[in-house]
Amino acid sequence: MIKADRERLNKLSELGCVVCRNEGRGFVDTEIHHLKGHRWSGMGKRASHQHTIPLCPVHHRHGGPVDIGYHQSPRQFEERYGSQADLLEQVNNEI
C-alpha cells in the first residue's frame, strides 16, 4: 500500500458510513468497501484503494431489519442508496 492509499483510507474512516450520513444518522464507524464490477476491477481482482467508499458493517455486509447491505443484495442496495459510482463521487468530493 502506498502513502496515498493509506491517506485515503484514513480520510474515509474519519467520514463515517456514507449511507448512514445520507440517511441523517450522523457518524457511524466504517469498514472500507472496494467497489465491485468490471468498471473498477478485473476478473477476480479487488478494486484499487482509490475506488473505495466508507460503509458501516450493516450497509457493507449483512443488512439489518430495515437496511440493505451491499454484499447482501447489490442491486437492492444501489436502488435504495444510489450507485457505487455516485457514492464514490460523493466521498471523493468530501475528502
pLDDT single digits (tens) 41-88: 655 667 778 899 999 999 999 888 899 999 999 999 999 999 999 999
Distance CA 4, CA 21 (A): 24
Whether pTM exceeds 0.95: no
Q: Which of 71, 92, 80 is nearest to 22 (CA)?
A: 80
Domain 3-94 has CATH 3.30.40.190: yes
Contacts of 29 (CB under 8 A, 6+ apart): 13, 16, 17, 56
| Cell numbers given for 32 | 472500507
| Residues 84 and 35 sit within 8 Å (Cβ to Cβ) | yes
3-state SS assignment for residue 95: coil
Domain ranges of the chain: 3-94
